[in-house]
Chain A
């Protein structure tokens, strides 16, 4: 059975390349990807996940406001019935010199299941997906 996944670039961010590469790679790995593009809201990601019956939402962010844009996302997923959905976030998530473990913890505490560091390859994401969803 195919596994459906939603990808997108959150907030006012319009940096599309990372998310496009990721979508391409995981599609090649056999997942059914719905890429809803750049500058999308939390609600748009959730709506797409509901309609496609997706099992994971993969959020990209490059412009440094990722933390603000992602706040409350897990709560909204639960509220809309997406109780078991996996949430991944990755990219250049914060501004300033903050050590990676601290950034990762911040997003794990916000309810994300996986947090990708800047420059991570799509292969790592595919490994995570296979571990978490298959």
Chain B
């Protein structure tokens, strides 16, 4: 079976055998945006040289995040409720949420959406039988605008008829599905996810010029981030308390946690919007090339240098110059040991901050009846494994130091990060392929993941 990922930077190919349950070969070539088939055939040639001619690999599936990925806008009513629910539904479907809006859209905001040119708009607002004026207003604003993107209506079901009427006159595409929040504090993302996937396959793939390789493959199956999330779900079955998967990239650092994340002590009060079992967060300010300055802001220069293991003797100006170069040239790779250390320091810092934001946390509250502990978000302390992927982790000489930052720290005892996980590094870029195989043959995906992970475990240096 041939698995293909047309990524934003690299086109990756993996050959997997679903009878021996092994990954046979993998390789990659830079993605060629103008015509993705060029990069694809280059990578294919490498694979053919390594193992078998492509004709023999009849089953072919692909994921893609080229041409900016799946860019979405999420609209809700109250920021903490339906807007956040819509945001999570879009992230869970593998989208890049470029902006979120709440309450009534203004003309200025509509203009902003027109300029942002999203691929899909997710329109939520109101629980079923709850508030509906806002979502109806927002639907009208979209219909009256020049926005052409397909709209998914996943809000108050009582507003569906009115919204269908509003869209009927225009020839704008509308998909009506289940509410992302049918009642307060209930998150319902599965049906939205299905529709996003359907639209992705039908429309987005063509729009992004990926149809050129469509004949060769069996259609683009998934947006890449969804393939990665599905892979994490497959791997989570191999550990009793689930997994955390971190994907460090040049533009974002993504964190996925697959576990229920409920409090481990019944005395702890859980608060806030329920978390999805498979949760994905995207930190758009923590890419190790595009957002170097915001990483420095987040952790401070001093800690970045410490994370990079750079001693005081080194002129900090030298570091600034290197960081400056990387910031202006996103595809730059570290050239020597010193640069590798700095690159590693960036990844360590990004993972530390990204997982702090992703994980749940505890808060102590003193009441007349004594102290109570309140948990917000997911408790990841019992999670069995941390899996690292993305160039900066895979190419690092000290990947364990990066992944270790995704775990619990005594300095920050209220952040509920994994306490005793095993560490794995996706050293041959195959994580996405496991997510793709899982769509066709979940059982095989699980076994292939198990065999692959066996080889990919990294031990801590001092362990």
Chain A interface (Cβ < 8 Å from any Cβ of B)? 2, 4, 6, 12-14, 32, 34, 36, 38-39, 43-44, 47-48, 50-54, 63-65
Residues of A within 8 A of B271 (CB): 39
Known A14-B269, A34-B127, A48-B184; judge A53-B132 contact (CB<8 A): yes
Residues of B within 8 A of A2 (CB): 129
For the complex, give the distance between the alpha carbons of A47 and B184 in Å.
Answer: 9
**Contact present for B129 and A48 (CB under 8 Å):** no
**Can you give 25 contacting A-B residue pairs, CB < 8 Å?**
A2-B129, A4-B130, A6-B184, A12-B367, A34-B127, A34-B183, A34-B184, A36-B184, A36-B185, A47-B80, A50-B77, A50-B78, A51-B81, A51-B82, A51-B131, A51-B181, A52-B131, A52-B183, A52-B184, A53-B129, A54-B130, A63-B367, A63-B368, A64-B368, A65-B368
B463 within 8 A of partner (CB): no
For the complex, give the distance between the alpha carbons of A50 and B372 in Å.
Answer: 29
Known A47-B80, A50-B78, A51-B81; judge A12-B365 contact (CB<8 A): yes
**Contact present for B80 and A53 (CB under 8 Å):** no
For the complex, give the distance between the alpha carbons of A24 and B125 in Å.
Answer: 27
Known A14-B269, A39-B374; judge A50-B365 contact (CB<8 A): no
Given A51-B77, A52-B127, 15 more contacts at CB 8 Å? Answer: A2-B129, A6-B184, A12-B367, A14-B369, A14-B372, A34-B183, A43-B80, A44-B80, A48-B184, A51-B125, A51-B126, A52-B131, A52-B183, A53-B130, A53-B131
Instruction: Return the contact of A51 from the options B127, B366, B369 (Cβ within 8 A).
Output: B127
3 closest residue pairs by CB, A with B: A52-B130, A53-B131, A12-B367
Min CB distance, A65 to chain B, in Å?
7
Min CB distance, A82 to chain B, in Å?
11
Chain B interface (Cβ < 8 Å from any Cβ of A)? 77-78, 80-82, 125-127, 129-132, 181, 183-185, 269, 271, 365-369, 372, 374
For the complex, give the distance between the alpha carbons of A44 and B81 in Å.
Answer: 9
Known A4-B129, A52-B131; judge A47-B81 contact (CB<8 A): yes
Residues of A within 8 A of B369 (CB): 14, 63
For the complex, give the distance between the alpha carbons of A54 and B131 in Å.
Answer: 8
Residues of B within 8 A of A48 (CB): 81, 184
For the complex, give the distance between the alpha carbons of A14 and B366 in Å.
Answer: 11
- B126 — nearest CB in chain A belongs to which residue? A51
For the complex, give the distance between the alpha carbons of A34 and B81 in Å.
Answer: 14
Residues of B within 8 A of A14 (CB): 269, 367, 369, 372
